[in-house]
Amino acid sequence: RICRADFMHALENDIKPAFGISKEEFDSYISNGIIIWGQPVTDVLEEGQLRIRQTVKSEMTPLVSILIEGPPNSGKTALAAHIALLSKFPYLKFCTAQTMLGFSELAKCQQLKKIFEDAHKSSLSCVVVDELESLLEYAPVGPRYSNNVLQTLKLLFKRPPPKGRKLLIIATATHRDILEQLGLLASFSKVIHLSNMTSGRHIFHVLNEIEHCFNDNEMRVLEKKLHDKKVWIGIKALLDLIEVARQADESSRVPRFLGQLEEVAGMN
Ligand code: ATP
Ligand code: MG
């Protein structure tokens, strides 16, 4: 016999909304969590929270859009997904060139239009538009890009939702100057720069947050070696180095890791 509990169970576990949030998808972009390694992360998160509040509360600005801009591997995608989840808005959608692989320009534009039209149907929506350069098919050689996608994005970023509805757009990009040239920067209420990690302390902070990597002795050595060093490395690249170090022999783990930091992060 089927009873109410079965329906509730199905609602919880089996039924995916036809449009709107798919939490697993968002989670997949934050596979290694969010480590608050320093002020740059705090700044982005605070701005994100401020903009969520603005979207919910303000009557004057039903459309709020932010751009998280930073070097490759700095954690843009994960932070954008994280802020979107923080909003707890009923309609969340993630647009990425990855899921539009092989789409024609026209199909891409239609897909983007559909996502925003669906967003306009919900009282509170948040749309993440990841890697603007990839969506625009930007290539520095030439340079080339899809003007159709550019015009579509410009219009979609400007179109306020119908009366009584609110929309928060969170975009990410790597090349601020290119977006500026394409006239896309002006579309955003706020452009937030996300920096790479710049000091050994940032790195040590991450090591502290990650379990089962280095033992207490190794951590003491690392703290001494790292504390006054300048570095330049993105969180994604650092997590990769840590993962490699984890697989190495205990005897060579620390020197190997430090050697990699010198090579990849310019530490000296
Ligand atoms: P790309 O330039 O290739 O697009 P990206 O800047 O978008 O890279 P992400 O794909 O977001 O980088 O990768 C960041 C990874 O680091 C994710 O696995 C995420 O879970 C993890 N991470 C840990 N701490 C943070 C943090 N403070 N900010 C962002 N990501 C973090
Ligand atoms: Mg990314």
pLDDT confidence band for 268 (50 / 70 / 90):
confident
For position 11, what pLDDT does the model report?
61
What angle separates helix 147-158 from helix 105-121, to the nearest 10 degrees?
Answer: 10
The β-bridge relationship of strands 124-129 and 190-193 is: unpaired
Our answer on whether the CB atom of 92 is closer than 6 Å to any ligand 1 atom is: no
For position 3, what pLDDT does the model report?
83
Our answer on whether the CB atom of 239 is closer than 6 Å to any ligand 1 atom is: yes
For position 17, what pLDDT does the model report?
54
Q: Where are the alpha helices (DSSP H) in 14-58?
A: 23-28, 39-57
Closest CA to 153 of 131, 123, 125: 131
pLDDT confidence band for 181 (50 / 70 / 90):
very high
Closest CA to 90 of 67, 118, 113: 118
Our answer on whether the CB atom of 34 is closer than 6 Å to any ligand 1 atom is: yes
CB of 136 closer than 8 Å to CB of 145: yes
Segment 3-11 mean pLDDT = 76
Our answer on whether the CB atom of 41 is closer than 6 Å to any ligand 1 atom is: yes
Arithmetic mean of pLDDT over the chain: 93
Segment 169-183 mean pLDDT = 97
- Answer with the residue of higher pLDDT: 133 or 1: 133
Our answer on whether the CB atom of 238 is closer than 6 Å to any ligand 1 atom is: no
Q: Which ligand approaches the C-alpha of residue 71 most closely?
A: 1
* Ligand 1 atom closest to the CA of 174, numbered from 1: 2
Q: Where are the domains of the chain?
A: 17-193, 197-265
| Per CATH, domain 197-265 is 1.10.8.60 | yes
Per-residue pLDDT tens over the stretch 194-209: 999 999 999 999 999 9
How many angstroms does the Cα of residue 128 sit away from the middle of ligand 2? 11
Task: Return the SS3 of 114.
Answer: helix
One fold for both 17-193 and 197-265? no
Q: Which ligand approaches the C-alpha of residue 196 most closely?
A: 1
Our answer on whether the CB atom of 99 is closer than 6 Å to any ligand 1 atom is: no
For position 14, what pLDDT does the model report?
60
| Whole-number Å distance between alpha carbons of 29 and 234 | 16
Q: Is the pLDDT of residue 77 over 90?
A: yes
Alpha-carbon torsion, ordered 87, 34, 67, 143, to 10 deg:
-140
For position 22, what pLDDT does the model report?
79
What stretch of H or E contains 232? strand 230-233
From 235, 241, 242, mutation site for ligand 1 pocket: most ligand atoms within 8 A of C-beta: 235
CATH architecture of the domain with residue range 17-193: 3-Layer(aba) Sandwich (3.40)
Segment 210-219 mean pLDDT = 90
